[in-house]
Structures are given as C-alpha cells and as structure tokens.
Amino acid sequence: MLIFRLVVGLLLFAGILCFALYIGTGQVVWRHRGLVIIKWTVLAGLGFFAVLILERLARML
C-alpha cells in the first residue's frame, strides 16, 4: 500500500511539473504529457481501488 501511494504521488507530481513547464515555456507538448500522465494515474488508481473492493466482496460471500 505504501509503495502504491508513493508511485501515485510521484506520478501526480510529474504531471504537475509538466503543467508548470507548459506555463513556463508555452510549448503544447508539456501540456499533452501532463494530461497523459494524469489520465493514466487516475485510471491506475481506479483499477487499484476496484481490486480492493472486489477482495472485500469476496470475503463477505
């Protein structure tokens, strides 16, 4: 759990850093990279929590 939180935190930081570079340089490529990083981070987080929920449901049955 700690490793997952660390990875998600670092990915979110990388996305924010890309957006900061976009604001600083005005290059659209940094905005695109930031959006891609944030999108995949959110999808991975949703998948992780779906697995946790399914594990709890399996224990209840």
Q: What is the pTM of this model?
A: 0.81
Higher pLDDT, 39 or 61: 39
Sequential DSSP letters for 15-56: HHHHHHHHHHH--HHHHHHHHHHHHHHHHHHHHHHHHHHHHH
Statement: residue 53 has pLDDT above 90: yes
Tens-digit pLDDT profile for residues 1-33: 788 889 989 999 999 999 999 999 999 999 999
The residues near 15 (Cβ < 8 Å, ≥ 6 apart) are 34, 35, 37, 38, 41
Per-residue pLDDT, 31: 97
Per-residue pLDDT, 57: 94
